[in-house]
Amino acid sequence: MSHLVTMDDALKTKLGILADAAKYDASCASSGAPKRRAAKDGLGSTTGAGICHAYTPDGRCVSLLKILLTNYCLFDCAYCVNRRSSNVRRAAFTVEEVVTLTVEFYKRNTIEGLFLSSGIIRSPDHTMERMIRVAKTLRQKHGFRGYIHLKTIPEASPWLIEQAGLFADRLSINLELPSEASLERLAPEKDGAAIETAMGQMRERIAEAKEERRRFSPAGQSTQVIVGADATTDEALIRKSAALYDRHDLKRVYYSAFSPIPDGTAILPLKAPPLQREHRLYQADWLLRYYAFTPDDVAQAAEGGMLALDIDPKLAFALKHRERFPVDVNTADRELLLRVPGLGVRAVDRIVAARRHARLRLDDVARLTSGLKRARPFLVAADYTPGGLGDRLDLRTRLAEPPQQLSLFG
């Protein structure tokens, strides 16, 4: 029973070890679940959009209690702090302990739910069964309707992967490394084909359940790729993501800049990639999903396969295709407006709605976007044309962001 009324020091120590071990996973989203409210004697709800209950000094959102069931692991993946040859402190939660922490933290309104992952102990199936038991206990014994994200173990038996979807809002399988060769070198127990097979299997089950109005991982599936642990280019990463969105209907691909970990290993690069690289990858990913960019468009925005760090990929694309600009905010198609640097989806939609009733001047556009400085050289308004601005050779320098301090030591 989880009638613990307080946390003892042993549990607190375990929490420290198993939260530290889980924090390299970038995903913390609590979005995408259907709206639910608690039954009269139950606990928890979901809002659809997700809530960040706190932010840590790395700027990341704390939405879910993100922990490992255990950091003992039989695998030996070089990028992972929990690989079996690492010298970190080890700990293991019981199922009840995870349930208690989730319920008690949730009652204090500090979290939206649980993000549970685990090192592989005994076997992938054994591990997966224990993770499922946590989710099942929360749902059935505590009437918990908050968010549950389970990190699926692709090496587990297919029926277990499918059972996880009965209790989870989101399932994810980490791709970790974008190429088979890198996986072989850095994660010898992992198998790229098995990962994609499991993703395909999950996609089928999710689609079937939706059609049959059954509950199965309603917030879909996501994955994570580590950036900078191998030589993969940005272009190759974006092409891989586009293929994953397309083939397996993923909700999100997370990019996690490889970060120095305690007790690192000699086969990893010593230096972390700039966090700005991760940021540019997210922007490019966004262009794929919301701005109708193709992977080829993103490739054109890159130089030698790598995205520029000082300007965003949309601006990089526009600078290479100046012949397409300027576009007139009062007449251009939505698709063309979406290509203007500095104009987001919301700004474009507001422009399209407003211009049905009024001719827009530059002042009007300024009220609809905060990115006017970047947009100006590329657009025409009722009282404005960029003149020669859009053709200036130093345009890139003028629009580049001052070297931003995204990391204190990056």
Partner 1 sequence: MSPLRSVRLGPGADLAGFRAACRSLIAAGVPPEAVGWTEAREPGLFGAAGDESGPPLRLPRAVADLVPAVLPHRDPERHALLYRLIWRVGAGERHLLEVASDPLVHRLLRMRKAVGRDLHKMHAFLRFRRVPGAGARETFAAWFEPDHHILEAAAPFFVARFPAFDWSILTPDGSAHWDGAALVFGPPGRREDVPADDPFEDGWCHYYATTFNPARTNPAAMRAEMPKKYWRNLPEAAAIPALVRGAQGRVAAMIEREPVLPAKRVPARALAAMAEQEPDSLDALNAVIRRSEPLVPGATQAVLGEGPVGAAIAFVGEQPGDQEDLQGRPFVGPAGRLLTRAMAEAGLDRDAAYLTNAVKHFKFEQRGKRRIHQSPTAGEVSHYRWWLDRELAFVAPRLVVALGATAVLALTGRPIPVTRARGPAEFPGRPFRGFVTVHPSYLLRLPDEARDEAYVAFVDDLRRVRATAGTLTV
For residue 89, state whether it binds partner 1 (rule: CB under 8 A).
Answer: no
> Closest approach of Cβ 291 to partner 1, in Å?
20
Q: Are 190 and 198 in contact (CB under 8 A)?
A: no
For residue 300, state whether it binds partner 1 (rule: CB under 8 A).
Answer: no
CA angle, residues 394, 399, 403, in degrees to nearest 5: 110
Binding-site string for partner 1 from residue 186 to residue 225, where x marks contact by CB under 8 A and - marks none: ---x--------------xx--xx-xx-x-----------
Binding-site string for partner 1 from residue 3 to residue 32, where x marks contact by CB under 8 A and - marks none: --xxx---xx--xx--xx-xxx--------
For residue 185, state whether it binds partner 1 (rule: CB under 8 A).
Answer: no
List Cβ<8 Å contacts ≥24 apart for 187-191. Answer: 187/75, 187/76, 187/77, 187/78, 187/79, 187/80, 188/76, 188/77, 189/74, 189/75, 189/76, 189/77, 189/120, 189/155, 190/75, 190/77, 190/154, 190/155, 191/154, 191/155
Rg over CA atoms, the chain: 23
Q: Which residues 350-409 are close enough to bind partner 1 by CB under 8 A?
A: 350, 353-354, 356-358, 360, 363-365, 367-368, 406-409
Q: Does residue 273 have a cis bond before it (omega within 30 degrees)?
A: no
Q: Which residues 138-167 are close enough to bind partner 1 by CB under 8 A?
A: 143, 157-159, 162-163, 166
- Can you tell me the distance from the alpha carbon of 180 to that of 376, in angstroms, rounded to the nearest whole number? 44
Q: Which of 40, 323, 388, 402 binds partner 1 (CB under 8 A)?
A: 40
For residue 265, state whether it binds partner 1 (rule: CB under 8 A).
Answer: yes
Binding-site string for partner 1 from residue 48 to residue 67, where x marks contact by CB under 8 A and - marks none: ---xxxxxxxxxxxx--xx-
65 or 308: CB nearest partner 1 = 65
Q: Are 69 and 92 in contact (CB under 8 A)?
A: yes
Q: Which of 68, 120, 332, 375 binds partner 1 (CB under 8 A)?
A: 120
> Closest approach of Cβ 268 to partner 1, in Å?
8
Q: What is the largest CA-CA distance in the chain?
A: 73
155 or 235: CB nearest partner 1 = 155
Q: Which residues 235-264 are close enough to bind partner 1 by CB under 8 A?
A: 257, 259-264
Torsion angle (degrees, nearest 10) of CA 299, 305, 310, 312: 20
> Closest approach of Cβ 8 to partner 1, in Å?
10
107 or 141: CB nearest partner 1 = 107
Cβ neighbors of 118 (< 8 A, separation 6 or more) are 68, 69, 70, 127, 130, 131, 151, 153
Q: Which of 69, 114, 173, 275 binds partner 1 (CB under 8 A)?
A: 275
